Amino acid sequence: MKKLTFALALGAAFSLTALADSFSGTISDSMCAAKHVAATDADKQCVKGCVKRGAEPVLVVGDKVYKISADSKDKVMSHLGDKVKVEGTLSGDTITVTSVS
């Protein structure tokens, strides 16, 4: 019985890991989006200003712009304008973030 329980728990852990995706890009804002992929100091200031004025944070990966889920926004706020690696799950064009580095 213990072996069966362990096997099920291990399988569940691997299935959850399989659902997570990794994205490398730049945290920008919904107004400027791909204009700030260089992540210069000027880009960072613009992104921070746009988000402060109501724009939503987004992740720009190549030519694709991903929305950040409402419950994940706090995880990206300290990375506005930065190049990052985001771990999370993708649903449509929205990422639910589990970690940012």
| Higher pLDDT, residue 46 or 6 | 46
Closest CA to 45 of 36, 54, 58: 36
* pLDDT of 60 above 70: yes
* pLDDT of 7 above 70: no
Mean of pLDDT values over 51-66: 97
Who contacts 68 (Cβ-Cβ below 8 Å, separation ≥6)?
Answer: 56, 57, 58, 59, 76, 94, 95, 97
Beta bridge mates, 24? 85
pLDDT score of 4:
47
How far apart CA 85 and CA 101 sit, in angstroms, is: 5
Q: What is the pTM (predicted TM-score) of this model?
A: 0.80
Closest CA to 54 of 34, 79, 73, 35: 73
* pLDDT of 86 above 60: yes
Mean of pLDDT values over 24-43: 95
- 60 SS3 class: strand
* pLDDT of 1 above 80: no
From residue 87, alpha-carbon distances to 14, 19, 25, 55, 98 in Å are: 15, 10, 11, 22, 6
